[in-house]
Amino acid sequence: MQPPLAYKMSLTELQGEGEFACPRCGVIISPEDETEDVYTILDTKVCNGELEELEIQCNKCKSKIRLIGFNTS
């Protein structure tokens, strides 16, 4: 069994309201989805009380996606 693929995405490069397609399988991942049916939050990185990085896993293809670019100030 192959390990899941890992991707790194910057939120500053996304269009729209924050939803994006999984880089591997194309399923739409939306920050509005709180059910964890489509993705699961694996880890969060907080620095000085602000979210810096979020690692999620696509539930369809099991790819891991590191989201960066939360703090754009």
- Residue pLDDT, tens place only, 3-57: 668 999 998 888 878 899 999 999 999 988 889 999 999 999 999 999 999 999 9
Are 6 and 61 in contact by the 8 Å Cβ rule? The answer is no
**Does residue 38 fall inside a structural domain?**
yes
Whether the per-residue pLDDT at 70 is higher than 70: the answer is yes
CA dist 53 and 65 (Å) reads 10
- Residue 6: predicted pLDDT: 92
- Residue 4: predicted pLDDT: 67
Domain count, the chain: 1
**Does residue 63 fall inside a structural domain?**
yes
CA dist 41 and 13 (Å) reads 20
- Residue 9: predicted pLDDT: 93
- Residue 3: predicted pLDDT: 65
**Does residue 73 fall inside a structural domain?**
no
**Does residue 1 fall inside a structural domain?**
no
**Does residue 33 fall inside a structural domain?**
yes
Range of the domain at 41: 6-68
**Does residue 49 fall inside a structural domain?**
yes
